Amino acid sequence: MQFLRGFIYLPLFTTEYNKPPNLVLLNKLMSHPDFLQEPPKSTGEEIFGLYMALELFSLVNKGAVSLKDVMATLVAFSAESIAQ
């Protein structure tokens, strides 16, 4: 069991695909200015769409992070942003 930014990562299965998110990348995503606004607020593909995906996958192409790290981090980012 690992603790990650306010939630517990508890793997149900031990596989190479079940890995914790990249916390540096997760912190960068969670520090986006839109999350600092007062409610009501919403975001969509205009902020977290194609441009953000291209930026994240450019990190994979540069070898800075693995594709599995990006995917695990995006899952954690979705859960974390909803929880907040």
What's the pLDDT score for residue 1?
Answer: 41
Confidence band (pLDDT; 50, 70, 90) for 11?
low
Per-residue model confidence (pLDDT) at position 42: 73
What confidence tens digit (pLDDT) does each residue in 20-74 have? 788 899 989 888 888 778 877 777 777 788 888 899 989 999 999 988 888 888 8
Within the chain, what is the greatest distance between any pair of CA atoms?
A: 39
pLDDT value of position 63: 92
**Is residue 10's pLDDT more than 70?**
no
Per-residue confidence (pLDDT) for residue 35, from 0 to 100: 77
Cα distance between residue 19 and residue 10, in whole Å: 10
pLDDT at 62: 93
For 28-64, b where at least 16 C-beta lie within 10 A, e where not — what string? Answer: ebeeeeeeeeeeeeeeeeeebeeeeeeebeebeeeee
